[in-house]
Chain A
Amino acid sequence: MKIAGIAAVVALMALPLIAQAHAHLKQAVPADGSVVQAAPTSFSLSFSEAAHLTALSVQKQGDAQPQKIAPLPADASQEFRIPAPKLGPGVYTLRYRVVAADDNHVSGGMVTFSVAAAAP
């Protein structure tokens, strides 16, 4: 029984515990992998179903900590448009967490985009 318990824990640790389900991201602006010429003034996220946006952060490549974006909308929605902080040139990762309004399951993901350096 002890071995079964240890095996269960090992199996759990091996699983990719990134939420991969429930309210899926359908579209993001900036899009994942995109290069934008000007820093976005807002982030748009569209999901497969209505969800509460519970966490949003943006982190520049090389920075130690992400920058939390707040406040977030209190109501559930399929589409969110959130004002973006001021971003300079660089590669950014936008991380989000949502909880689906119908089945209450938590999911999350990330969108990576680049802001091009301003032309001299």
Chain B
Amino acid sequence: MSPDLLAVMVRTLGFVALFQAVGTSFFLAVFAPLLEHCADRIRRLARVAAAAGIVLILAHLALEPARLAGAFDGLWDHDLQRLAWQSGSGISQLLQAAGLLVILVAPERAIGARPLWASGGGLIAVGAFLLTGHTSAHALRGLLAPLLALHLLVVAFWFGSLGPLVLVSRIESNARAVAILQRFSRLAGWLVPLILLAGLSMGWILAGSLSVLQRPYGELLLAKLAGFALLMLLAAGNRWRFVPTLLAGGEGLPLRRAIAAEYGLMVAILATTAVLTAFFSPR
């Protein structure tokens, strides 16, 4: 296995853990007052994901010298270690880890009725992505940065809410679960299109022309778009078929399976993003 392949696998898992932790903290910030029985389990999910994310981010940083050397013996090269940890990318990842640390140790004491401390950590973790990569180096970074922030915040909220929604459908009463699911669907209905809008805008600014679609970067972008389209179909199925079934007193298992399918598809999209940002350029 090459250092590149291992690094992108670790980075993918790191993305999964980070967006799980951040999104779950956002879910709690929005829905905590509605939760009767599963708030503690959801909070634990955020903390476990945050801890895993910290470990994976540090592992990815530790692998970076090997990537720079093109071989695993680069792990022990002090100059490459210094380059990795002190680079913009290194600082960004350390800040991501710091944001996750805030989620991990955030006090349970709520601000008002909503636990907002952890959400602050989520904002730090997401904000860290703005410090590096193609969007940070572009002449139009003043426009790209808010687009990227919007894209990532909504992705985090959507992805990180799927696990809590499964817990809600399993643990809360039918009526309460349906109320939360319906409220989430209404909120997601407004927010999720922003993922596409922000993503397409960034893609156009970064690539500059449609010729990018003939290159690997564009092909991976198309794969992400296809994944997003599938996700929208799944989400529509949840909203118009499985949630009403739950409302009518039916089984919650089909809904949980559909949410699990959404989760798997989003993991695949995160893996595509890890590859895209590690190896390919829009130009």
Given the known inter-chain contacts A8-B271, A104-B89, please indicate yes or no for A55 contacting B69, CB distance below 8 A.
yes
A21-B281, A97-B68 known; A15 and B275 CB under 8 Å? Answer: yes
Residues in B whose Cβ lies below 8 Å from that of A15: 275, 279
Q: B239: shortest Cβ distance to chain A, in Å?
A: 20
Q: Is residue A60 within 8 Å, beta carbon to beta carbon, of the partner chain?
A: no
Q: A63 near B: Cβ within 8 Å?
A: no
Complex contacts, B154 vs chain A, CB 8 Å = none
B280 touching A99, Cβ below 8 Å: no
* Interface hits, A38-90 → B, CB 8 Å: 52, 54-55, 74
Sorting the interface of chain B by its residue count into under 10, 10 to 19, 20 to 34 or 35 or more gives: 35 or more
Please give, as numbers and ranges, the residues of chain A lying within 8 Å of B264 by CB-CB distance. 1, 3-5
By beta carbon, the residue of chain A nearest B64 is A106
Contact B137 A8 (CB under 8 A): no
The reply to whether A54 and B267 contact each other, CB–CB distance below 8 Å, is no
A81 to chain B, nearest CB (A): 19
Residue contact B8 to A55, C-beta cutoff 8 Å: no
CB–CB A12/B132 < 8 A? no
Residues of B near A95 (CB, < 8 A) are 70
Partner of B263, one of A1, A19, A107: A1
Judge whether B133 is part of the interface by a CB distance below 8 angstroms: yes
Query: A17 near B5 (CB under 8 angstroms)?
Result: yes
Are A5 and B67 CB-contacts (below 8 A) given A12-B8, A104-B89?
no
- Whether B83 lies near A103 (C-beta < 8 A) is no
Q: Please name all residues of chain B whose beta carbon is closer than 8 Å to the beta carbon of A11 when the two chains form the complex.
A: 268, 271-272
| Complex: A22 Cα to B261 Cα, angstroms | 34
Task: Report the separation of the CA atoms of residues A107 and B268 in the bound assembly, to the nearest whole angstrom.
Answer: 23
Expressed in whole angstroms, the minimum distance between the Cβ of B205 and any Cβ of chain A is: 14
By a CB distance below 8 angstroms, the chain A residues around B260 are: 1
Contacts of A118 in B (CB 8 A): none
Q: Is B244 an interface residue (CB 8 A)?
A: no
B216 at the interface (CB under 8 A from A): yes
In the bound assembly, the distance between CA atoms of A4 and B64 in angstroms comes to: 27
Asked whether B87 is an interface residue with its Cβ less than 8 Å from the other chain, the reply is: yes
Interface 1/0s, chain A 22-44, versus B by CB < 8 A?
Answer: 10000000000000000000000
Contact of A104 with B87 at beta-carbon distance under 8 Å, contacts A4-B268, A17-B8, A95-B70 already known: yes
A102 and B261: CB pair below 8 A? no
Partner of A54 from the list B4, B5, B68, B132 (CB cut-off 8 Å) is B68
Select from chain B the residue with minimum beta-carbon distance to A1.
Answer: B264
Chain B residue nearest to A7 (CB atoms) is B268
* Chain A nearest CB, measured from B93 CB (Å): 10
Does A119 interact with chain B (Cβ within 8 Å)?
A: no
A residues near B5, Cβ cutoff 8 Å: 12-13, 17
12 contacts between A and B (CB under 8 A): A7-B268, A11-B271, A12-B9, A20-B216, A54-B68, A54-B74, A97-B67, A97-B70, A102-B137, A104-B89, A106-B64, A106-B67
Contacts A8-B271, A9-B271 supplied; 19 other A-B pairs, CB < 8 Å: A4-B264, A11-B271, A15-B275, A15-B279, A17-B4, A17-B8, A19-B278, A19-B279, A20-B216, A20-B281, A21-B217, A21-B280, A52-B83, A54-B69, A54-B83, A55-B69, A55-B71, A97-B70, A105-B281
The 9 closest A-B pairs by CB, nearest first: A4-B264, A21-B281, A104-B89, A102-B137, A54-B68, A1-B264, A8-B268, A103-B137, A8-B271
